[in-house]
Structure 1
Amino acid sequence: MRRRPAVTLATLSASVLVLTLTLTARADADVAGPAAPAAPAVAAPDGIAPEMFAALQRDLRLTPHQARARLDTDVRASRIQEVLRTTLDSRYGGTWIPSRGDTVAVGVTSAADAATVRALGAEPVRVVHTERDLDEAVDRLNRRAVAAPDAVVGWYADLPANAVVVLAQAGGAATARAFAAKAGLPADAVRVETTNESPRPYIDVIGGNAYYTGSSRCSIGFSVNGGFVTAGHCGRVGARTSQPAGTVRGSTFPGRDYAWVQVDAGNTPRGLVNNYSGGTVAVAGSVEAAIGAAVCRSGSTTGWRCGTIQQKNASVTYPEGTVSGLTRSNACAEPGDSGGSWLSGSQAQGVTSGGSGNCRTGGTMYFQPVNPILAAYGLTLVTSGGPGPSPTPTAGPTTPPPGSTTWQAGTTYATGATVTYAGVSYRCLQGHTAQVGWEPPIVPALWQRI
């Protein structure tokens, strides 16, 4: 009997193996059924620019679903902050979003206030110092800013830590404590932290669209009726600007870092921010975001960059002097981003002032909140649709005028629930347990008229 060549047997064996694997795979497919369809893409929430939604996921390392949930929490925190800052008044300990990003915390000084916080679906945290206490402590340091030692970089109120943090360069901790003591701050309200920050204002670059003051280039922060707001270090009162042409009508720096430019006829302010991806982001209002909320920044050097709001009412010492009332963030920036727009969702938050670090190694940035700029100069923000700032609620019981009313104190309302009050219909914006003083007409953070 003649032996078959080895190569023929090898080829036959390989063919049998391939056929067996193929039949097995088909059998497995028949058992498992058709492959599951791919999960649908998660779109940006209504009112949130896709570019901002994408940057939020990139910089905070979130999935699309996590990013949507985070934005929902941020909105909820803003509403809770708006209600409690007024209703708790001097007892209010501040609102913040813990690092996990899915809850809202509120500082309280009594068990009674803890119940009020829970009624809004937030977590009460017992504190010793109220938000007002910490702000007053910051103000004491601000009044001594000109006497601040070189080792002291800045200071801010840290609501979650319930203390005022004084930032000091290496070896300057004792000097920083002495500075705080001379300002009259109680020792239990002060924490000294060592930092390598070396803040400077970003005057030579832009955040939104560029404009020029002489040979210097800065950026438009947000449009207001008649012009735009920007950083104060970008130009003094009376200076002329180009692209767009205008005149600086108000400017403060140092002390604060804000300015506004009145544009010449023919320039049209619009409620938009350049996203540096070939489009724009609409600005819906200027509702203040809570500590811990996600925030995104637009700048021509580094484009869209996102982070979180870390602290408010921060003071920082630049070479030109101390600037107070800033907000501190870890959203990176670089020279060229000065004066640019900061937004939380579709809500304007502020304009870039300065900071330390860059977008390669990270850093700490400061922005001047926008609402104090509007108040200082009596300006009105230009918006492009969506909800704007809500009026401040008025605490205390009210008596409804004649008309049908289904709203009742003590009732727990879910988001989307509808009620009538004095014959007017309202939709619940934030789940809560109703209390006297939170009637729909006077708490627009909780109820929307329909």
Structure 2
Amino acid sequence: MPAVQSWPRLARARIVVSSLLFLTAFGAAASPSVSPSLRSAAQRDLGLSPAQLDRWLQIEREAPQRAALAQRRLGAHYAGSWIERGDDGAVRLIVASSDPRVAKLGPGVELRQVRYSLAELEAAKARLDAGARLRLPGITRPIDGVYAWHVDPASNSVLVRMAPQALERAVDLAAYSGADSGVLRFERMDVAPQATAQVYSGIAYQKGNGGSCSIGFAARQGATKGFVTAGHCGVAGESIWMNGAPVGYIAGSEFPVADRAWVAIGDQHELLPLVTNHAGAFFFVRGSYESFHNSVVCRSGYRTGYQCGFVNAKDVTVNIAPNSSGIGGLVYGLTQTNACAGFGDSGGGWIDTYEHAQGVTSASNIPAGSPHNCGMFGAFTWFQPVNPILERYGLTLVTL
């Protein structure tokens, strides 16, 4: 379905507040259609031709079932699956296996032989997580500069990203955790992940004591209206303002470990199942079905607008650098993308090409002195998946 070009009720004054609650939640079945404006944004940001995007989206639809069948066949040797664009420009579904005896998995799937199974990779990542949790300030070495780690099926490794000068600390984290060193792969990342909340004017919501973030998805907790957003945007009890007027308060917030929050607002505000593309159009929110690895996702935030990227990792542990207010720390279970973001985009909603909500913006590797990482080589943005937020606070998302 095409993006909504107008929404008649937006003309009413009281909708000026609620019209920001576009980032709603998500249902189950995927819509077979993709809006033209979303297709255009995806092609712009991802460098895909129309034919490549069509093929990518087709594989996205088929991938969960195909990957599940491959996993059942390969059993303990299953090593992950992903969508890949080859050097020849062709888009393919890749399934990895640590079993050299398997030669084919059927039409439409390219088999790749690797050393480690997915279970072995996940076990190593879990050891890193456990080691990070057990570190004691003043006793164990700090892990400042070790930015993020996650299972990366495409490289058949646990990928650890770090500052150029932090290799020794990354190796120390690995040794302390007891993770199999052969499974780990260290990669340089020049800019630290930062929580993207700061004080900016414009379309956003503000905390009572300052600081602007972007609204995520409209939701209800029973009869109480509200929205989900990032936990680092504020603590429980803080008042929330929009357009110079108080609208509610933060009813629940967690950061670090998770990065999620629930804001309760007054009943006079209207919740709309929409996402703005910051160019005069809106997308409906149709459900919360989680996208496949390497799916196309797009995010909406008041600072940098509407940006798209690929899901290139899930269940990522991110070491978010403290900001000027001292807000930072390890956050687990984030989803990684190569879309860009800026300060103030925190909490904004992510949807896939079928208008299924995915999560809320958590952090981005923004260079010092810059308001965003858009246009930067090696840009990453991480989001907190939305379904755990709904489960944590007992919420129901507003959908079409």
Same fold (TM over 0.5): yes
The more displaced of 155-164 and 355-364 is 355-364
Aligned residue for 2:172, secondary structure, equals helix
Match of 2:216 among 200, 203, 221: 221
The equivalences for 1:146-295 within 5 A come to 147=135, 148-204=142-198, 210-214=204-208, 215-225=210-220, 226-243=225-242, 245-295=247-297
Amino acid at match of 1:371: N
Gaps of 5+ in 1: 1-42, 385-450
The equivalences for 1:275-424 within 5 A come to 275-318=277-320, 319=322, 320-345=328-353, 346-357=355-366, 358-362=373-377, 363-384=379-400
Amino acid at match of 2:94: A
Amino acid at match of 1:353: S
**CA separation of 1:284 and 1:124: change in aligned 2, threshold 3 A:** farther
Amino acid at match of 1:322: L
The more displaced of 223-232 and 79-88 is 79-88
**Residues 132 and 173 of structure 2 are in contact (CA less than 8 Å); yes or no, is this contact kept in structure 1?**
no
Match of 1:105 among 94, 97, 101: 94
Structure-1 separation of matches of 2:292 and 2:129: 23
Gaps of 5+ in 2: 4-30, 136-141, 323-327, 367-372
**CA separation of 1:112 and 1:221: change in aligned 2, threshold 3 A:** farther
Structure-2 separation of matches of 1:323 and 1:88: 32
**CA separation of 1:118 and 1:247: change in aligned 2, threshold 3 A:** farther
Structure-2 separation of matches of 1:81 and 1:368: 24
Q: State the match for 2:111 in structure 1.
A: 124
Aligned residue for 1:175, secondary structure, equals helix
**Residues 91 and 130 of structure 1 are in contact (CA less than 8 Å); yes or no, is this contact kept in structure 2?**
yes
Q: Which one has the largest radius of gyration? A: 1
**Residues 135 and 313 of structure 1 are in contact (CA less than 8 Å); yes or no, is this contact kept in structure 2?**
no
Aligned residue for 1:181, secondary structure, equals helix
Per-residue Cα deviation, 1:227-275 (whole angstroms, up to 9, x for no partner):
2211010111222223372332221101111111222212233321111
**Residues 209 and 220 of structure 1 are in contact (CA less than 8 Å); yes or no, is this contact kept in structure 2?**
no
Match of 1:94 among 50, 66, 80: 80
Q: Percent identity?
A: 38
Amino acid at match of 2:336: R
**Residues 105 and 122 of structure 1 are in contact (CA less than 8 Å); yes or no, is this contact kept in structure 2?**
yes
**Residues 337 and 382 of structure 2 are in contact (CA less than 8 Å); yes or no, is this contact kept in structure 1?**
yes
1:86, CA displacement in angstroms? 7.7
Structure-1 separation of matches of 2:359 and 2:68: 18
Aligned residue for 1:98, secondary structure, equals strand
1:196, CA displacement in angstroms? 0.5
Q: Identify which of structures 1 and 2 has the higher relative contact order when contacts are C-alpha pairs closer than 8 Å and 6+ apart.
A: 2
Count matched residues.
339
Aligned residue for 1:150, secondary structure, equals coil
1:197, CA displacement in angstroms? 2.1
**Residues 257 and 368 of structure 1 are in contact (CA less than 8 Å); yes or no, is this contact kept in structure 2?**
yes
Q: State the match for 1:30 in structure 2.
A: none
* TM-score normalised over the length of structure 1: 0.68
**Residues 52 and 304 of structure 1 are in contact (CA less than 8 Å); yes or no, is this contact kept in structure 2?**
no
CA RMSD of aligned residues (A): 2.8
**CA separation of 1:205 and 1:300: change in aligned 2, threshold 3 A:** farther
**CA separation of 1:90 and 1:231: change in aligned 2, threshold 3 A:** farther
1:336, CA displacement in angstroms? 2.3
* TM-score normalised over the length of structure 2: 0.76
Aligned residue for 1:97, secondary structure, equals strand
Match of 2:124 among 137, 141, 147: 137
